[in-house]
Amino acid sequence: MARIPLLGGAYQSRSLIAAAQRCVNLYPENNPKASSPPVPVTHYLTPGLRKVSQAPVVGRVRSAYRATNGDLYIVVNTTVYFVAEDYIWNDLGTVPTGSNPLSFADNGLVIVLVDGATGYAVDMETRDFAMISDPTFYGANKVDYLDTYFIFNRPGTPQFYISLSNVTFAMLTGTPGAAYAGTIIGGGAGYTDGAFTDVPLTDGAGTGLTVNLTIAGGIVTSAAINNAGSGYENGDILNSTSAAIGSGGITAGSITNGGSAYTDGTYHNVPLTGVAGTGAQATVVVSGGAVTSVTITAKGTGYAATNVLSAVAASIGGTGSGFSYMVSSVASGFSYRIDNVHGSAFDPLDIAGKTGSADNIVTVAAIHGELWLIGELTSEIWVNTGSADFTFGRVQGAFVDHGCAAAYSLAKQDVFLFWLTQDREGTAVIVKTTGYGVVRISTHAIEQDIQKYTTISDAIGYCHQIEGHAFYVLTFPSANRTWVYELSTGQWHERGSVDSNGVIMRHRANAFAFAYGKGYVGDSQNGALYVYDQNYYLDGDQPIPRIRTFPHVVGNGNRIEYKSFIADIEVGQSGGMMSDEPPMISLRWSNDRGATFGNPVMQSMGATGQYLVSPQWRRLGVARDRVFELSWSAPVRTSLNSAWIETEAAET
């Protein structure tokens, strides 16, 4: 009896006579030689999808994002949600209709998400949500973050552009020119003590700014914007002439002429007259017909130093003339500098283009401290050089003759980028980065399969890791197929879910994010939120089909009698999900080299605890070249080593 080895993953060659091996919802793991394993490779179950929550709306989960503060954000149809750890869905706002993913990035202060033509921001503290309003935001289908800058591709061009360093929600989303932060640069003196609201400020490039002021000891001690106005610029210096705080009120002066013929006495609340200001009053003392003392009792407003004032004779005895009083100081000196205005998240000069080739940038990626500009046909790498004119510059010689065929196929894992490429010679090759270059990771069989698809530009890629295995998952929505690459072995497998008719389709996962210590998956159809779970053996509540096709079994061109087939598979496990009946496994085979298969023949995988059951099939007929295929969907833990086969040569 010979063992049929299973040494790799999926490989269905262009010609089935070479290879016809399917590997669905199973991934191979190399066994360490030091442990003297019975086989070099064991196939394990891909993780199930355990449902943990349901979105408030039914539809496609377009994106999932874990912010740097640990929060989870989900986009379902057109709604953006913050999903708390207790699965409370908080509706933040809406984005345009579409089926494509949205790209997210954050700088610890604000999250930016883009969908192509438009962009949005989420304040990470308040979770306020708004559209990016800066006039120099040009749209993007991809945003990333590096060295305090947001980085965007400019759609339909070879250009990319960056935000200012450490931009905030207010900088991205406010009315252009509306002030939202400033500093008191002069508290002034002589103002009326108290708290004052809606105090208008003048000067600067804009209009309409009002503040709430606190004044103590005649000095402005705090200023808070309550109406941001519009049209201001960073650095504008503003002042106040508000009567409410006593701006221009008299704080000191002196008698320049006491006059004569006034009636001696002390006069209270004497109005001072003669200039543009108003409201000043004083206590006036007249002795020997001349004014000898003036004490300001009401400072008034609108005065200026060197103003010369007087008083009507009727206020100080009814006769006399010549009295004059010169203002030496008034309540003044408060000044306020605008530090930040809305719509100031970008410098219109902070834009650059690919220099190695003029093809349009499809997507961008920041990884390992470097910026990859991935175009339609070529790619190049830039770094932060610290240049004053534009902080990023190209790494000389770092040029890749491969572009991108699907913008959303790009995914990161560790120091690697993965994507579906195209170049001047062709398309539909999957690569990963290595240093300043890329290596092909797809097989001829997978490439041949992908090139059959009518549409590949809608491919969606993401990476996830479970039990030390890192996977790059690439789904083709239009083609209804999902291919998965396992990094440690370099092997591929298919991942698929069943529809209501039991037909295998693409995997249900449409978006992935690792948050709150779990790997979350969003459903492509119904708004369900799952976690990847290696000990859960269903996709939601649907069975998971497991299929492994074996290599050709031939006998030097002669016909072979296949006397028995025994599956070397783990049995007797329940996984906590098994019914009273033992799980079943089926075998079918092809006598025409994998072109067509017969009907499946079922066998028991043993009840719980029956660890030594060997699913086997006998008297399997005669053929020259046979391909066997095992399949099962039992919700229990299994793993597949290989199979034994007993054959006997026939006469011809």
Backbone angles phi, psi at 240, to 5 degrees: -135, 135
Quote the pLDDT of residue 208.
93
Q: Average model confidence (pLDDT) for the chain?
A: 93
| Angstrom distance (rounded) from CA 3 to CA 6 | 9
Residue 4 has pLDDT above 90, yes or no: no
Instruction: Give percent above pLDDT 70 in the chain.
Output: 97
pTM, entire model: 0.81
The more confidently predicted of residues 258 and 230 is 258
pLDDT in tens, 605-637: 988 888 888 899 999 999 988 999 999 998 999
Q: How many residues comprise the chain?
A: 652
Give residue-wise pLDDT tens across range 449-471: 999 999 999 999 999 999 899 99
Question: Closest Cα partner for 113 from 138, 135, 131?
Answer: 131
pLDDT of residue 174: 79
Q: Please tell me the distance from the alpha carbon of residue 526 to that of residue 279, in angstroms, as a whole number.
A: 72
- Output the CA–CA distances (angstroms, integers) from residue 280 to 20, 78, 189, 249, 253, in the order listed: 100, 62, 17, 7, 12
Strands 11-12 and 179-189: unpaired
Distance CA 135, CA 238 (A): 25
In this structure, what are the phi and psi dihedrals at residue 557, rounded to the nearest 5 degrees? 85, -10
Residues 51, 602: Cα–Cα separation, whole Å: 30
The pLDDT of residue 652 is: 65
Coil, helix or strand at residue 144: strand
Over its C-alpha atoms, the chain yields an Rg (Å, rounded) of: 39
What whole-number distance in Å separates Cα of residue 199 and Cα of residue 209?
8
Instruction: Answer whether 162's CB lies under 8 Å from 350's CB.
Output: yes
Segment (H or E) for 446 = helix 444-450
Asked if residues 299 and 281 have their Cβ atoms less than 8 Å apart, the reply is no
How many other CB atoms are found less than 10 A from the CB of residue 38? 10
3-state secondary structure (DSSP) of residue 34: helix
pLDDT of residue 33: 86
The DSSP string of 468-484 is TEEEEEEEETTTTEEEE
Q: What average pLDDT score do residues 300-326 get?
A: 93
Cα(99)–Cα(75) distance, integer angstroms: 11
CA–centroid distance for 34 within its chain: 43
Looking at the predicted structure, is the pLDDT value of residue 473 above 80?
Answer: yes
- The alpha carbon of 148 is separated from its chain's Cα centroid by a whole number of angstroms, namely 15
> d(Cα 467, Cα 406) in Å, to the nearest integer?
29
Rounded Cα distance between 162 and 243, Å, is: 45
Of 557 and 299, more confident: 299
Distance (Å, whole) CA 644 – CA 568: 7
**Per-residue pLDDT for 482 more than 90?**
yes
pLDDT at 52 > cutoff 90: yes
Amino acid type, 551? P
Confidence of residue 15 (pLDDT cuts 50, 70, 90): low
Six token digits for residue 562: 């296949």
> What is the maximum alpha-carbon separation in the chain?
150
**284 and 219 in contact (C-beta within 8 Å)?**
no
Please state, in angstroms and as integers, the Cα–Cα distance from residue 84 to each residue in 81, 127, 557, following that order.
9, 12, 63
Q: How far is CA 564 from CA 435, 547, 551, 615, 617, in A?
A: 50, 20, 16, 11, 6
pLDDT of residue 494 exceeding 80, the answer is yes
- Please report the pLDDT score of residue 579 as a whole number: 57
The first and second tokens of residue 579, run together, are 């019914």
pLDDT digits (tens, 9 = 90+) for 63-86: 999 999 999 999 999 999 999 999
Compute the average pLDDT of residues 285-311: 95
The pair of three-digit structure tokens given for residue 418, joined into one six-digit string: 């993965």
Q: How far apart are CA 150 and CA 346, in angstroms?
A: 10
Residue 14 predicted with pLDDT over 60: no
| CATH class assigned to 2-46+544-649 | mainly beta
Average pLDDT over residues 582-592: 93
Residue 543 is predicted with a pLDDT of: 94
> What pLDDT score was predicted for residue 18?
55
Residue 448's CB is within 10 A of a number of other CB atoms, namely 15
Task: Name the one residue in this structure whose structure tokens are 């009401």.
Answer: 298
Q: Is a pLDDT exceeding 90 seen at residue 503?
A: yes
Q: Which residue has the tokens 């991942």?
A: 495
Domain ranges of the chain: 2-46+544-649
The H or E element containing residue 323 is strand 321-330
Read off the amino acid at residue 128. D
d(CA 178, CA 197): 19
What is the token pair recorded at 230? 């519009």
> Token match 């698929």: residue?
496
Kind and range of the H or E run holding 639: strand 639-649
The pLDDT tens digits of the residues spanning 375-430 come to 999 999 999 999 989 999 999 999 999 999 999 999 999 999 999 999 999 999 99
Task: List the Cα angle 148/154/156 in 5-degree steps.
Answer: 160
**Amino acid 392: pLDDT:** 97
pLDDT, one tens digit per residue, over 104-154 is 999 999 999 999 999 999 999 999 999 998 888 999 999 999 999 999 999
Sequence-separated (6 or more) residues with CB below 8 Å from residue 340: 168, 170, 171, 179, 180, 181, 182, 234
Instruction: Please report where in the chains the tokens 């389709």 appear, as a residue.
Output: 505
What is the rounded CA–CA span in Å between residue 494 and residue 473? 9
Contact 537, 577 (CB under 8 A): yes
